[in-house]
Amino acid sequence: MANYKGHIAGAVAVTTVYVVGLSFLPGELLEKTGGILSDWQMVAGLFVVSMLMGLWPDIDTNSKGQDIFFATAFLFDIALISQGYLEAAAYFGLLAMTPIVGKHRGWTHSKLAMLLVPLPFVAVPYLNKSSILATYLIFYGAAVAGYFSHLLLDGKITKYVRVKG
């Protein structure tokens, strides 16, 4: 089981592979994302989302990872509110609180949670009939990549990979 530094590094590594993989998408698919990969702020956002999701399964315990997660989440929520994305800020705040509903290493450390927890990145824009759904799909992928890195480092994806830290 990795510590918070290991989970951050794992999220960065997996997200780097994810972003590089995205650059190989056909041009017509990349055009639908509004040039997300050519905007450094959006790419930075992908890494922030991934790192937060890489820490997220462990934020139900008092730890350095919890401190980093909530400090970053707080700033991210302020940014969403200041930009007028009130609904997104509300959903993000709700998502940030959910690990406390359960025991440590319980439901938050499952493969199903890895796919379902980041779903608001796609479901909310879809329900709002957003024309930029492709962009949200890319953020969903970054969230899943970060979550995946956490489960991988904790030995929940395969029993052959487990990092102590």
Task: In whole angstroms, give the CA distance from residue 111 to residue 29.
Answer: 27
Which of 158, 15, 3 lies closest to 65 in space, CA to CA? Answer: 3
- Written as one string, the DSSP assignment of 66-96 is HHHHHHHHHHHHHHHHHTT-HHHHHHHHHHH
**Cα gap 42→35, rounded to integer Å:** 9
- The predicted-structure confidence for 123-145, as pLDDT tens digits, reads as follows 777 777 666 777 788 889 999 99
Report how far apart the first and last C-alpha atoms of the chain are (Å, whole number): 6
% of the chain residues with pLDDT over 90: 30
* Residue 150 pLDDT: 94
pLDDT digits (tens, 9 = 90+) for 21-69: 988 877 776 676 667 788 888 899 899 999 989 998 888 888 888 899 8
2 CA to centre of own chain: 17
How many Cα neighbours within 13 Å face the side chain of 89?
13
Q: Which residue has the higher pLDDT, 6 or 33?
A: 6
> How high is the pLDDT of residue 122?
79
Whose structure tokens read 């487990």?
Answer: 162
Gap between the Cα atoms of 120 and 38, Å rounded: 24
Chain centroid offset of residue 132 CA: 18
Q: Is the Cβ–Cβ distance between 109 and 156 less than 8 Å?
A: yes
| 129: three-class secondary structure by DSSP | coil
Distance CA 165, CA 158 (A): 18
- Residue 124's pLDDT is what? 72
- Kindly state the DSSP code that residue 162 receives in the 8-state scheme: -
